[in-house]
Amino acid sequence: DSLAEGNHNGSIQHTVTSTDTAYNNLAIPAVNVGISEPVINNSNPTIRNVIRHVRGSSNLTEGGSSYIYSVLLSTQPTANVTLTINSGDQLTTNVNQLVFTPQNWNIAQNVTVTAVDDSVVEGSQLETITHTFSSSDTRYDAITINAVNINITDNDPGVIITQPQGNTKVLEGGTANSYRVVLNTQPTADVVLNINSSNQVSTNVNQVIFTPQNWNVSQIVAVSAIDDNVIEGNHTTIIQHTAISTDSRYNGINVNPAQVDIKDNDFDLSTRQRTPRTVPTSTRVSPLAAIEMLDLRSFSNAVTAEFIVNGDAARNNFVGFYKVADLNGGIDTNNDGRVDIQPGSVGYTQAAVANRLSGVDLIVNSAGTSTFNTTLNGGSMYAPFIIVNGTPDAIVDSNRSNDPNVYFSFVGANSDNTDHVNLLGNNVFGFEDTLGGGDLNYQDMTVQVNVSAI
């Protein structure tokens, strides 16, 4: 039968009738039979397919049409079964509970689902409706059935500004960085987004235009720091946005600004020291200190260089220096006097590591100190890099799948567009080895370079 009874017993009785009085009404023992029934649970076929699609699409839009699904039991319970519907904050249902009785257990009951039409710009999202059974019929109590997944499309107009690190980092005189802009919903007319930069940065465009056709395609805004001669230190500026459209939902809509962190390349030699670290008088003060390079261009002959390395990280990192051909970090790979590859270009990491200074392989144990001495040619600029938990061999081989992260002074060369090298003093370089910058104290490794003319 369809009654959910669990394991139970049955009895077969016997009666005898005959004109032979010796047999008529003779007592015969009954036969007892044990009857087993499969246990009802989430994987048992007896309750499979209790959720059925009725009408509409499970892809909902805020303020749009509804989706209807139905629920029924596939075995008769011995007591009422209550199904509680848990729809979360982004969905509403016409009922919060369904009750199935031993009489209506096999009659489908509908649940109507609607997306909450709020005013919050959220973008597309996936929500899940879960179900909970309760019943004094222990075989139905607390069993689980499949959830219902609903995709929600946001209908709130909005402009989404995407900055992977929460801000955009640029260097005065360095390469550009960027952020992305896209609309949240389709407009009925063109939306012009004016980009209002400050006197600290410039952008490659003054406005971007979204149409009813390209509204969901991100547009890139490139940002460069103004290379002034003002000593400002590292500072922050804001790029504001204003929206203009004949679509009243977008015209004048509030748009979040883009925060830009600027690294200054102007400094006062008398105040540049940022830590109480004492730097020997033989240390050469680099005029490029703000962009973390070792500048030996004023030396016409060879120099001696002492590298004092301190480690404060759990990883086995490697620091080296490589020759750069210009202030932007370009590399002259064939020594013809011209830049062949720039930071951010394919192969830049391999070129930098392959052309590193021979004999300047700087490694140190955590909480340890090491000293390296070498002779360098004057007349050149050298930039540092850090290989995180790896060695140069993994970078210069032909297997790209085993490459560890490598970070440079030039943000455009870093995969996460984050500054991983900072100047802590005159020719004292601090490194961050964590993707995204970590705690940004630049103490995972420090390298102090003392340079003296021979």
Q: What is the pLDDT along the chain (454 residues), one digit of tens a residue?
A: 545 455 567 788 888 898 888 888 888 887 776 664 544 444 343 444 467 767 767 888 888 889 999 998 888 889 999 999 999 999 999 999 999 999 999 899 999 999 998 877 777 789 999 999 999 998 888 887 888 999 998 777 788 898 877 788 888 877 888 999 999 888 989 999 999 998 899 999 999 999 999 998 999 999 999 988 787 778 889 999 999 999 988 999 989 999 998 887 664 433 333 333 333 333 333 334 456 899 898 888 999 999 999 888 788 899 999 999 998 899 999 988 899 999 999 999 999 999 999 889 999 887 778 889 999 988 999 999 999 999 999 998 888 888 999 999 998 899 988 889 998 878 889 999 999 888 888 888 999 999 988 8
Strand arrangement, sheet containing 168-171: 168-171, 258-263, 235-245, 191-196, 207-210
Q: Give me the domains of the chain, ranges plus CATH numbers.
A: 45-153 (2.60.40.2030), 159-263 (2.60.40.2030), 289-453 (no CATH)
Residue whose token pair is 């100047």: 423
How does DSSP assign 69-128, residue by residue? Answer: EEE--SSB-SS-EEEEEE--SSEEES-SEEEE-TTTTTS-EEEEEEE---S----SEEEE
Is pTM, for the whole model, over 0.85? Answer: no
